Structures are given as structure tokens and as C-alpha cells.
Structure 1
Amino acid sequence: MTQPLTSETLVPHPDVAYRRLIVASGFAMIVFGACVAIPSVCQDAIGREFRLDFEQRGLLTTARMGALLVSLLLVGYLGDRRGKRGFLVWGLVVIGAGLAASATAGGYRTLLGAFALSGAGKGVMEALVNPLVAQLSPRGSARALNVINGLFSVGLVIAAIGAGEILQAGASWRVPFWVWIAPALVCASLFLTRGYPAVEMTETHEAVAARFLRRPLFWLLFAGMVLGGGCEAGLTAWGPNFVEHELGASARSGAWVMVLYGVCMALGRFASGGLVARIAPLRLMVGSAVACALATVALRFVGSLWSAWTLFALGGLFVACFWPTILSVASDELAAGSAHLFSLLAAAGIGGCVVFPWAMGALGDAFGLRNGVLILPASMVAQVAVMGVAARLVGKDGKATSGGSAWQRTDGSS
């Protein structure tokens, strides 16, 4: 049986601060989720203050995600070579600086720059937290990654509730940005430990990268990340604005889109962490894509706030598994625990996050926001095809993951 490509293996050591690093990683994901929710909940208020059209509002997300993408690729390349500690600490400091710059922005261009600064810090989190967790949990990466990424949704929910209530009370949209600066800096202090897991190189980074880049499976997972990340970003970036603009909902009601979406995304990721022991990862993703396509296409026709809440919640539930599960399949099938592999795939997901919010806004300006959301079900139809081909390829190659074939249950049955 062919083993996954691997460039490094964990060297167990009593000095590794496993518990502290897991706690820090979970806290980082909560902060990450909060920093994604706040701009989305505040988007309508920001748009009114600076008199922005839909495309300009979408570009705020694109600026953040574009900077995140550049940071992700750079730090992903350097993280395996120079260690994760310094990058993680400074990444969270940069997030705090970006939040402060957003809270004090006096114009649209300044706000774009502030969002980009915050995005650069988030790129560090995206590049290094997932591979660190995979290294700390080498025999259960799918479960660990789904749980850790589920905490992203917890941050999303907490921040959405807080920001929505702040706006409903008549306070400035700037207040939620100030609130989350301190948690980002506290999280940075948790990563200030020398107890990181040591790695033992068995191949050069370049040799491993050259090998997995030649694998068709890598490119299928790459495409899956673009589609899954783009759909997730579209739901996150436009949910509150959709119900406020299309259904005349209040800021509090818009925030509850994010709350319900985030709760269901968290449930989806926590559930996926358990389901991968019984349902093959690729089968899980094919089924989730079908369900997500049905939920998101219905947004085109939604007529009530309760229906919109339900559909965005279902969108969060079914889109939840893609990001962490694709990463776990890649780790098991291609290069276990490689930050370079994770950063390339995460970059693909962020690429989707850059394009989809802007495209939905541009289509919203041209044809109405209800038609703009049709990008989401289209991406999920494509995801069904991509994951289906990936499943056939894995089955054909006869490769095994840490829990059995990515298209077979762990008991070996198909």
C-alpha cells in the first residue's frame, strides 16, 4: 500500500506544550472568525456612512482576502523553514493593528488599507494554525481539523451577536472593531512558548512539493478549495446585507443571519469531525455539496425573513465540511503535516474568497442581489463534479488515509 508523501515527521518530546498550543490554536480560530463576522455585520452601516455601492462594499472583502492570500503564500513557504512561533505571534499583533486602523478610518481608501492590513495577519493564521494542529494530532487530523475550524464559527457567532446588538443600540460600527483588539493580543501571548513540536526532515521541501504538484489529486483538491472557500465567503460576506437590502430587515436581524449561519457551520464542522470515522471524507463532501446547492438556490426566491434565516443556516451547515476536510484528505494522501501543502490549498480557498464576494456584488449592481447569489449554487454543482472525480481517482490509485480510503469507510467497506 502506497504511503502518503511526507517531508517531516513529529518527534515526540516531553517539552512540547501540546495543551497550550491546542488552546492557542482554538483561540486563534475564534479571533479569526470574529474578525470575519464584524465587517460583514457592519457592512451596511459602513456603506451608508461612506456612500458605497454593492461593488465597493464587495471590494472591502476582496481587499482583506487579497492581502490574506499574499500573506498566506509567503508565510506558508517560510513557516516550515523558519519556524511557526514568530509568525503566529506577529500575525495576531498585525490583526490587532488592522482592527485599530479600521476603527479609526476616515475614508473609503483608508478603510480598504486597514482591511488589507487585517487580512495580512489573518493570512498567517490560515497558513500555520491548521498545519500546527495536524502536527499535534498526526493520527486524527480530520477530526482535529474539523473541531479547530469549528471554533472559527464560534467566533463568528459571538462577534455577530455582539456587533448586531451594538448597532441595534445605535452605537457606531467602529465599536466592534475596538472590542476585539485585546483578544487578538492575548492570543498572541499564548503562542509565546518554545514548546513547539520538533520536525525531522526526510526529504527537502522542494522535493515534496515537486511530487505532490504532479499529482492530479492535488489539483482536484485545489479546485475544491476554490469552490468551497468561495461559497463560504459569499454566504459570510453578503448574508446580513442580503436580508437588510432585499427584505428590509433591521441591523439586528441582519446580524442574526450571521449568528444562525455560524452556529450551523460550527455544528457542521463538529459533526463532520465525528462523521469522518463512519462516512468517507469524499462521500461526505459530495453529499454536502448537493445539499448546499439546494439551500443556496432557494435564496433567489426567498420572501420572508424566517425563510432567509433558515436557508443561510442550512448553507452554513452544509458548506462547513469542505475547508477542513479537504485539508485532511490532502494531508493523508499527499504530504502529511506540510505547511507548504496546506498554504497552497488554503491559498486556493482564499482565491475563491477574493473573487466570489466581489462577483456577487458586481452581479448585484447589474442584475439585482437575488441574481448575484446564484453564483453559490453554481459553485456547489461544480463541487459535486470535482469531489466525484477526486473520489474515483483516490479509489483507482488505491491510496489510504489515516482512517482508510478517502472514498471508503474506515471498516474498509465501500
Structure 2
Amino acid sequence: MAAAPSNPLLASTTPSDTSPEIQLHPLVILTISDTVARRTIRKQTGPIAGAILGQQNGRQITMEVAFDSKVEVGPDGQVQFDSKWFEDRLQMYKEVYKNPQLDLVGWWTLGAAAGPEQRHLPAQMQIQTEYSLESAPLLLFHPEMVEVSSGTEGKLPLTIYETVWTSDNNGMDVDGGERNHNLKYREVRYTIETSEAEMISVDFVARGGGNATAVDTSFSKVHNAGDANSKASAAAGAKGKSKDDSAETQKNGISREAFHLTTEEDELLATLTAKASAIKMLQSRLNLLTAYLKNLPPSYLSDASIPLDPSKGLELNHPLLRSINALLARLPLLTPPDTVSFTRESEQTASDVELVSLLSSLTRTVQDAKELGRKWNLAEPRKSRAGPVGGGFGASALSEFIDEEASGVGMVGGF
């Protein structure tokens, strides 16, 4: 939390008792990340900034929703919001988020981990002046930390600052001081708060968002042009682009459309990736244990009569050795030592289950045949009184045949 002395905009003091307690919601982080990703894919340049909406209750501030805004860049690179555009978009968000009512609580932009820069001051003063905010917190997102981070440090690539006014005379920080003092930033702590709806969204992004693939904009234009421009006036241009795309496909051997995966394929890919990562981690742990055992003194590996040489081998770690021994003792439970007998027993059990299922099916068939014979006997006298319709075998003979067959099958099923 210590401020970097090389940045003149950072205050030298730690957060005071009057500093805000900020609760950051994942939706804000997702919005900022999505905005940065879209501009990067589209190869757009220029500063990025936006507003953060939430609730404020005394010192407690919640950052729940964010959006990117249109900005104006000065001759010295200073950033300011387009007032009309910003106000219209802010009112739209307020109209949507009425229960609970969200209001402007701060703003966000991109910057280095060293802290805010001079170009951020105009936008900061604009937010605090036009919307009567005593100290509008600044969420500074650090893209360079995303590129070098492995994703396992547990630290988000962002920092939240509050504004303080410092005096020119003694350099003391004055919270809520007069406006003729210098504006500086001071880093504040924050906590992550997640609602139930955000949990569902974050889980969906975690399962499917990591498998999303970016489609080249030039290829998209060619593909869309080939589908939409079917008229003769645009046929020549579309044909030329299609030839280029076909040549590239033949050169690489793989069509770019083959990289578009369905939802089921994305989920399968995520599952296989997770299993592959787990297997790699297990393999690395096993290699580490194997290397440790190989470097133990020879007296503990082959012959206990060999004198111990402290200069050779690693120092013994008895808890680790006991854990390895317990792990080896559990291996027979996972893989039976006598696989042949285990396989034979499994096959016998499966055969017994299939035999019971077959007998049950045979019993049901016999019951159905007996029921058919009973219904036939009930219908045959009525048909005989009505007179024969045509020649052929008599119905009574067929009924007797069914009864005999049913009784015979019943004897087989009842043994």
C-alpha cells in the first residue's frame, strides 16, 4: 500500500479513518475487460475511460455497474468526457437500475501500475465538479499486468484511488480540504462482493469464455461480402476476395471456419483441458517425489549397513517419507494387483445380471401370451354365433394352441 515516491500525484500517507470502504463487484471488472478486449481486437487506439455506478452509504461505496464513455483528448494528451454523451448514457443507466437506485460513484480508465498521470486530472476534476462528488474514486486498470501475469498470483490487475487535497505549506493531507490545494491520489483497499446473479454470470464466463476464439476482421469482411453481395455489381469484388481466401485455405490446409466450435464442443474442450492440466500437475509432483527419493543417502535406499555420509544426499524428511509410504499403501486399492481374477469376477457378475434380466423378460412374455389367449377365448363364442366370415382354420383350435404354448413356456419360466 506504500505510494511510489517517483509519482508526484500520489500522496505519501496511508488511508485514514475517513477513507471510503469500497466493495467491488465482478460485473465492473468484466465490463472493463470486455471493453479492452474489443478495442484490442478491432485495433482501435486512443484513451479508454468510463463511469462506475453503485451506491454510497456514508463511507461505504459499492461499485456495481460500469460503462465506457466517449472521451475528448486535448493537445497534451489530457482526457475529458464528452459531457452531453456522458450525461445521456448516465441517465439511461439510472433508468434501468432503479431498484435499488444506482448513481455515479466513480470512474475508471487505463494506466500504469505506478499510479495516475497528469492526463487523468481533467477527467477527475470534471467528475467531481459537474456531479458534486467530494472524492470520486478512480479505478485504474493495468493492462501490462494482464500480459505478464500467469493468473495464479491472486491479485487483480487494478488499483483503486481516492482523491485528497494537500496543502502547499506543510504537505499535510486534508480530507475534504479547500479547493485551492493540490489534488493527489491515495490508494485505498477494496473487497470483492458478488451477488447471486453475478455468480451465475461469472460461472458461465469461466466455463465458456476462456474457449472463445477471435475471428480476424479481414476474414469476416470477406465472408460477409461473399454472402450479402449477390448482385452483379459486387460480384467481381467478392469473387476476388473469395479467391484470396481459397488460396489461403489451400496454403494452410485448414479452413478458418473449422475453428468455430459449438457450445457442446466448448464444454468438452474445457473438460479435457482441465483434466490435462490435472494430469500434468500430477506428473510434475510424481517427478518431484522421484527426484527426492533418488537423492537420498544410499544407506537408506539399498543397505542399512553403509555408514551415513552427511556430505552426500539430501537431509531426511521423515514426515514426507511417511506420506510417500502411505500413498504407496493406497495404490492397491485403486488398481487391484490380480487383474485377471478381478476381470473374471466382474464378467460373472455381469452375466448374472443379464440372466436375471432375461428371465424377467421371459416371464413378462409368458404373461402377455396367457392374457392374449384369455381374451381370444372370450371373443371366439361371439364370433361363432355371428357365423363364419371366411374359410380357414377354426378359432377354437388357435386358442387351444396358444394356451398349450403359454402353459409350456410358463413351466420353463417357473423352474
Do the two structures share a fold, i.e. TM-score over 0.5?
A: no
Which category describes the TM-score, using the shorter chain as reference length? under 0.3
Higher strand share: 2
Task: Output the TM-score relative to the length of structure 2.
Answer: 0.20
Greater Cα radius of gyration, structure 1 or 2? 2
Higher helix share: 1
Task: Output the TM-score relative to the length of structure 1.
Answer: 0.20
